Amino acid sequence: MLERIDEGYKRLQEFTGELAHEMRTPVATLLGRTQVTLSHTRTVADLREVLEGNVEELERLSRLISDMLFIARADHNENPLEREPVELDRDARQVAEYLSLIAEERGLTVDITGAATVMGDRLLVQRAITNLMSNAIRHARANSKVSVLIAIENGSTTLAVINEGDTIAPTHLERIFDRFYRIDSARARLDGGAGLGLAIVRSIMTAHGGRVSVQSLTDGRTTFTLSFPSGFTPPLKSSRSHISKS
């Protein structure tokens, strides 16, 4: 019991420290920008510009808080799952369609192969797929292909998202699912990321009794895999679709 209490205390310390560190920058930005604006007389146009910038920072802060609350609840099994049959191929196609404009801007093709159905919370599964696919698109080499492979192997169902880009070093692979961990901090901040996307994926898969793993080869081929436990008999079907660059 004492070990569990000690572990819980350490996790609470980590949580508060990480959250304070991440909130410090947007709060300081909002405070500094507002103080400078109030120090001189401003035109309506100037005030509007400042307020628009503040709204962006507040939205980023709101997302950060929501994501941290989600992970904290997941750590304590407080995110109830609404399980239903989830067709992974259909959800993957929906996510690919949603991200198609971003993919087209970089000349990417998204290819989806295979089909399977799992029992899970549809919204959470979609969020996990979205996080992985958006990551793959963002870090893929321009004019390359992002592949989504769905398969049933050894009693478990897997969904793998594969892209071609920079190889992820082994030292990063060990921590890539940690909260607030960024391989390229400067680039992540420019993209508006807080380093929580993959941590959320891990929490979602843990809640489903599954796991997420990553492999990055020296040729730049990186694969993130969602592995769902057995327990639902999938339909015998197969499909293949892709969204090509315009």
Sequence ranges of the domains in the chain = 2-75, 83-243
Q: Are 37 and 46 in contact (CB under 8 A)?
A: yes
Task: Output phi, psi for 231, to 5 deg.
Answer: 135, -5
Compute the radius of gyration of the chain from its Cα atoms.
Answer: 20
d(CA 240, CA 246) in angstroms, rounded, equals: 19
Q: What percent of the chain has pLDDT over 70?
A: 78
Q: Which of 35-44, 78-87, 94-103, 149-158 has the lowest mean pLDDT?
A: 78-87
Overall average pLDDT of the 219-223 stretch:
92
* pLDDT at residue 46 tops 80: yes
**Beta strands at 145-153 and 109-113: parallel, antiparallel or unpaired:** parallel
**Rama region for 50: left / alpha / beta (φ>0; ψ in -120 to 50; rest):** alpha
**Token digits of residue 38:** 């109030």
- Confidence (pLDDT) at 14: 63
Residue with tokens 């919370």: 121
User: What fold does the segment set 83-243 form as a domain?
Assistant: Heat Shock Protein 90 (3.30.565)
Distance, C-alpha 27 to centroid of its chain: 23
pTM for this prediction: 0.71
| pLDDT tens-digit series, residues 112-132 | 999 999 999 998 999 999 999
The domain 2-75 is classified under which CATH number: 2.40.10, 1.10.3470, 1.25.40, 1.10.287?
1.10.287
| Per-residue pLDDT, 158 | 95
Residue 37 and residue 45 in contact, taking contact as beta carbons nearer than 8 Å: no
